[in-house]
């Protein structure tokens, strides 16, 4: 049987190469997802810092109002709070954009996982087919060997009978 080669060996090699490539792509997509998630956390931290700053300024404004300060100071603080609100809105926008990027990266990872799973199934099907093919070939070769042995046995039996006839005659 060693002389016989699996006829779909090239196809099997191609399927294995595709599986390996899909595995690499999945790892790349996971790495990109990790980067996007890290950026997302950083953007959230920046937003939280601005939010805390806003809360501090609101508290400071309330304290100044309770103390009774000048209208100019209060107006100046309110204007500054508007600037902080704008900065907070920018940070919220960045957080939302990054959240979308993370969601897209997760989708890409899932697509890569599905592709990898399909390629793995293809490879497994090819391996099962190869085992079945080898089993069939072994069975066929065994039958051929039995047939040859039967033919040899029959031939040698006929030769023995003929030689007995000649020796008795």
110 or 160, which is more confident? 110
Whether 111 contacts 32, CB under 8 Å: no
pLDDT at 150: 82
Q: How many CB atoms lie within 10 A of CB 133?
A: 14
CA diameter of the chain: 146
Angle at CA of residue 27, ends 23 and 30, nearest 5°: 135
Residue 2 has pLDDT above 60, yes or no: no
Cα separation, 73 vs 66, in Å, equals 13
pLDDT at 103: 97
Domain 9-168, CATH number (from 1.10.10.10, 1.10.287.1700, 1.20.210.10, 1.10.300.10): 1.10.287.1700
Average pLDDT over residues 1-8: 73
Average pLDDT over residues 86-103: 96
Dihedral of alpha carbons 157, 162, 167, 169, sign: positive
Domain boundary assignment for the chain: 9-168
Predicted TM-score (pTM) of the model is: 0.73
pLDDT at 3: 62
């Amino acid at each position: 049987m060693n002389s016989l080669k699996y006829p779909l060996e090239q196809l099997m090699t191609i399927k294995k190469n595709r599986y390996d490539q899909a595995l690499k792509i999945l790892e790349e997509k996971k790495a990109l997802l990790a980067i996007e998630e890290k950026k997302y956390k950083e953007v959230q931290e920046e937003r939280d810092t601005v939010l805390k700053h806003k809360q501090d300024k609101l508290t400071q404004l309330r304290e100044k109002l309770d103390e009774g300060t000048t209208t100019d100071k209060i107006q100046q603080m309110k204007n500054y709070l508007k600037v902080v609100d704008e900065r907070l809105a920018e940070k919220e926008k960045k957080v939302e954009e990054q959240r979308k990027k993370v969601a897209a990266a997760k989708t890409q990872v899932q697509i890569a996982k599905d592709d990898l799973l399909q390629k793995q199934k293809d490879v497994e099907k090819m391996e099962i087919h190869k085992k079945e093919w080898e089993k069939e070939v072994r069975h066929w070769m065994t039958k051929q060997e039995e047939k040859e042995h039967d033919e040899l046995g029959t031939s040698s039996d006929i030769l023995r009978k003929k030689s007995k006839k000649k020796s008795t005659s």
